[in-house]
Copies of this chain bind each other. A is one copy, B any other.
């Protein structure tokens, strides 16, 4: 039976895309409840300047809190070297740096071209290596806009493959592929996963980060699984829906993804009934915020038997 690792990114990707700030206690309750439902990894926040994203100002406290939860891998996003310093100081176990495959997007978002980002990856990798073993987070580089860019349009696949190799050469422990813009389609996912794995090594690309902007999120996840992807990012309730697509969640919805995986006979370790109850924590803390997902409304099929978590 295939084991699929779910990384919940709602507390980071979901919350950073809505303007309200979720209170720290509610975030803790969310993280604790989702870990108790069996989710093995949670991206609890981002080490961006609080002046830019006040929603993420409590990330260090969340890392400390989440590290107290037995068996949970505590992940964070870091936008740059300074963020990585803070992530390491906080004791994060995994950190992801987004590296935009569209140079226009990179320049616009973080004012850095590819060469500058690669130098930063190298500096962060050296910083990680300089830590005592117990303080070294797993350092992943997320290849953002890998399937297309809202500014550039199509993104050259040869370039993605080349930049994936460059990120690894600069010292990343692994790369992930991110459909930041919701542009991906299943054929492209298969092709790019295959090509990047072929370049960096099959065990150095494990993760897909998918958005559901155009409704293909789960089909893209399936395509990734078929090419050996073993980790999928998802967001509870699809929190942080796409402003350009009123009915569309942001990230793929954790509940629906786990339903698909468990129905297919994959093992996620997540108890779906327990997971669905976690939605009420978000609904209470962010009253009126739209939550997405099909399975919470439709319910599980009659006689659906989840493989024991």
Contact = CB atoms under 8 A, between A and B. Distances in A.
Interface stretch (A51-59, A65-73, A211-219, A281-289): A211-219
B295 A215 contact: yes
A183 B219 CA distance: 16
A185 B248 contact: no
A223 interface: yes
Nearest to A300: B214
A91 interface: no
Given A149-B302, A303-B148, A303-B154, A260 B297 contact: no
A186 B245 CA distance: 26
A299 interface: yes
Contact of A294 (B183, B245, B253, B264): B245
A150 B216 contact: no
A185 B260 contact: yes
Nearest to A262: B185
B187 A259 contact: no
Interface string A142-155: 00000011111110
Contacts of A231: none
A221 interface: yes
Nearest to A301: B183
Contacts of A103: none
Q: Which 4 A-B pairs have the closest CB atoms?
A: A153-B303, A215-B294, A245-B298, A185-B263
